[in-house]
Structure 1
Amino acid sequence: MKHRRTVLSSAIAAGLIVSSLGAFGAASAAPAPTTSTTSDRTAAKASSDIALKGYAYGTRVVGGQVPAGSGMTAFTVIGCTGKAGITRGNVVADADLQGSGNVSGVKTELWTRNVDGALHSYSRSTTAEVVLADSPLGSLSIRGVTSLSHAWHDAKGFHAATESSVGKIVFTPPVGDPQVLDLPTPGQPVEVPGLGTIYLGQGVKTVSGSGATARAVALRIDLRPSTGSEVYVARTTAQALAGVKYGRFGGYSAGTEVNALDGTITSGRNPLSLMPCQGTKGQVQGRDDATVDLGGQIVANGVTSRQWGKRYAHKSVAWERGAVAGLNLGGGQLVVDAVVGRAKVTRTSGGKLIRSTDGTSLGTITVNGEPQSFPDSGVIEIPGLAKLEPKVVTKVPGGLSVVALRITLLDGTGAVIDLGVAKTTIRP
């Protein structure tokens, strides 16, 4: 039976906690991300069958009234690389947690290294303080939250490790002095009456003959009793994967994606499928959404994403496909059916790249009940409502991206709705 510690218990001094799922030993100790060595530079030029990747963020709020596709503070990613010596990071001084509180001092760091021939991927996230929204009983501050994930490959094979720590948790009642609370432990979360429950996060390590993945989240805070949301603090992921010597697969697909005029994503890529570095080994993978509400009386139905990638003896082939069965804008002012975007890439053993948009198609477009067809200009403009552009294709390094139909709203918001989104790359 799981036990819960509450703020009604006596407060004790808090200290450092380390995930029992695998503390870092001397052999895997993380070097400073600013370090660069001769072996790093050599590895950056060398071909390798090992790909390194990872991502990290400080906080993320899900559930409740939080919009789908809401951002993650200080998000950083290394997509899929065979190079050591890469360092990336992000910093956020302060951010609002969508009505659940605020966060300050968020820093994420990702780096890859070659240490005596072993290839390492590191992912670290640190958060100085999370202050949760006040409850009638007071407020809660969580300080000094860190997680670190590490995946690597050496002469003995693949390895993974995770580590998390929390400085202290401080509860400030409406009357009286602040209290330093016990830290959560596995099976013993900390309950704050009227606000929520703080759970120790998890570290997950997956190791096989073809790769290693390390994932960690320092804390999960259940605020559903008060705000209907959950907050994840200090999420990290690091991977080392084999099977990419003859090309690294990449890309994504989604049925819909919406961007505001200033570039801020107001509805993320839905449903999003991300191509694995190694492809899908000839299996079709994907996601489905029955309905996606894009806001402003814009609803998409039958929204899907699909992907496929396979490595042959003398070539690698992959495709991404995003589709929408139907879109209704403005209560029937604009109705679009059967939108499909497909991007296919083939890379031969000689390095030749073949790009294709075969399979990209549009069904019917109806404006106020009247069927429409694209003029010679290639653009349909509906005064005061929207501008429609078919088959927006962009060449990218190692592949191409396709938007089957781009809808730009003419209501003053400048919002852009992309339907049938697909991007595929195969890079050496």
Structure 2
Amino acid sequence: MRTLVLSAAAAALTGGILAVPAPSQAALTTTSFGMFANGFGTRVTGGSLPANSGDLGYQTVGCTRKAGHDVSNNTAGAKVPGLGKIGATETRQRTVKSGKTVKVISDHKIANVVLNNSPLGKVTVEGLSSRSQAWWDGANFKADAKANIAHVIFDPAGPGPKHELKIPGRDKPLIIPGIATIGLGNTTERTKADGAMSYANGIYIKLHGSDSEVIVGRSRADINSKVYSGIFGGFGAAVDASVLGGNVEVGKNPLTNVVCTGTKGKELTKSLAGVPLGDAGNIVDVKGLSSGQRSSQTKSTASGYSFGQVAKVNIGDGAIRIEALRAQANAKYTKGSGTSTSTSGTKFGEIYIGDRKASLEQLRTALSRVDIPGLVKIETNVVTNRSKKLIEVVALRLTLLDATEGTKSHVNIGHARFAVNPDA
């Protein structure tokens, strides 16, 4: 199995969306399984290709207990500068129930991929498709993944006619010297006692002479058991930073994404010794970072939490020091009583302003007693989002001002979001 680590790219990707009617939505039926599906036409990673575009033809069914979802996303195709052309794409995701069988299906089709950026000639890959399925048949979990290609045609720039290239086995990539290496039909299927997953790639393309890779025609399907009362969502992170207006300066680290079907009562954690904070690192330093989650459910309840914590926070080269800071977001559903949320567990250990121990209230007003250039606001226990099903909290938020550009940015230290949804 080939492992691909890919990110969104190809900024100048241009394509038209087909006006295709959405498939008819069947009546939704609640099951005791958590299901997820997604798929996309193309995804390009870095190298010499332009960056910062989303996945072409992406569609997903987010984690759900409901059978009867049927969603699609079709495109007329696109041009990818530095690569070539992507033909029309069709993506369809479904959750179905028939008798005792509960299934999630992810389909993807793409008409062709044309690599026409090489002086050596043009390569056309025709008729790509992938299908991933994961299901419960009433007795066992099963998974199946398939990827197919109809033809690969090479049209040389010099003398000689265009001709069809032989498609090698699934574990042997097709190497076209000076143009690209094309991996065909990577598939993965996994089953276990409490779930199954599968995914398939139509092809991956490695462009020669660059670090760019393209994955074409991805489908994925997951199913998990014992989702009796609802699904979970959210994250935990020790630190993140963003410029006001939403631009990310420092991503969430270490990031723990909440498992949508629950952790069966186990606390899952991640940790880092520290993380660079970019320009904010001139004002604040953090050590001992960790994040995590815990959730469980029965036929009458679903509850859990996520957290982000930091062992040591140093602001203004020792002007303010905080030990053992933690943000925690909690949500609970009880049949007959509904949902509730709280920030219980959000806390600060010892706080020092200069050499003196201080209270949480004194921390909030610390800037009236110490001068830290660039730091304009200190906030604690900031609830950024709240409803009966969801809560998001930041334990310590610092607002910084860039002296040259006058741009304000936020540094969140201890950041947690958790939700439980009994209706999904």
TM-score by length of 1: 0.70
The yes-or-no answer on 1:347 pairing with 2:347 is: no
2 CA distance for matches of 1:131 and 1:296? 43
8 A contact 2:37–2:104 mirrored in 1: yes
- Name the SS of the counterpart of 1:282 in structure 2: coil
Give the deviation of 1:424 after TM superposition. 1.5
Equivalent positions of 1:165-180 (< 5 A) are 165-176=148-159, 178-180=162-164
8 A contact 1:109–1:125 mirrored in 2: yes
Give the deviation of 1:121 after TM superposition. 1.3
8 A contact 2:126–2:152 mirrored in 1: yes
The yes-or-no answer on 1:322 pairing with 2:308 is: yes
Change (3 A) 1:155 1:187: closer
Counterpart position of 1:213: 197
Q: 1:188 aligns with which of 172, 175, 178?
A: 172
What letter is aligned with 1:278? T
Change (3 A) 1:99 1:275: farther
CA offset digits 1:200-251 (Å, max 9, x no partner): 232222233422222222222234x522243222222112222011332332
- Name the SS of the counterpart of 2:213 in structure 1: strand
The yes-or-no answer on 1:60 pairing with 2:48 is: no
Q: 1:34 aligns with which of 7, 14, 23?
A: 23
Counterpart position of 1:395: 386
Give the deviation of 1:417 after TM superposition. 5.5
What letter is aligned with 2:382? V
2 CA distance for matches of 1:276 and 1:215? 19
Give the deviation of 1:65 after TM superposition. 7.7
Change (3 A) 1:330 1:345: same
The yes-or-no answer on 1:421 pairing with 2:415 is: yes
Which ranges of structure 2 fall in alignment gaps of 5 or more residues? 1-20
Deviates most, 283-292 or 405-414: 405-414
Percent pairwise identity: 32
Give the deviation of 1:256 after TM superposition. 4.8
Q: 1:235 aligns with which of 199, 218, 221?
A: 218
Give the deviation of 1:74 after TM superposition. 3.5
8 A contact 1:400–1:425 mirrored in 2: yes
Give the deviation of 1:271 after TM superposition. 4.1
Counterpart position of 2:265: 282
Equivalent positions of 1:339-418 (< 5 A) are 340-361=326-347, 373-375=363-365, 389-393=379-383, 394-396=385-387, 398-406=389-397, 411=405, 418=412
For the aligned residues, what is the CA RMSD? Answer: 4.7
2 CA distance for matches of 1:122 and 1:336? 49
CA offset digits 1:168-201 (Å, max 9, x no partner): 3344544355554333422321112234421123
2 CA distance for matches of 1:108 and 1:358? 42
1 CA distance for matches of 2:210 and 2:376? 36
Change (3 A) 1:34 1:300: farther
Q: How many residues align?
A: 386
2 CA distance for matches of 1:196 and 1:229? 10
2 CA distance for matches of 1:338 and 1:68? 39
CA offset digits 1:50-88 (Å, max 9, x no partner): 222222223333465899998533433322222122233
1 CA distance for matches of 2:121 and 2:267? 51
Which ranges of structure 1 fall in alignment gaps of 5 or more residues? 1-31
- Name the SS of the counterpart of 1:228 in structure 2: coil
TM-score by length of 2: 0.71
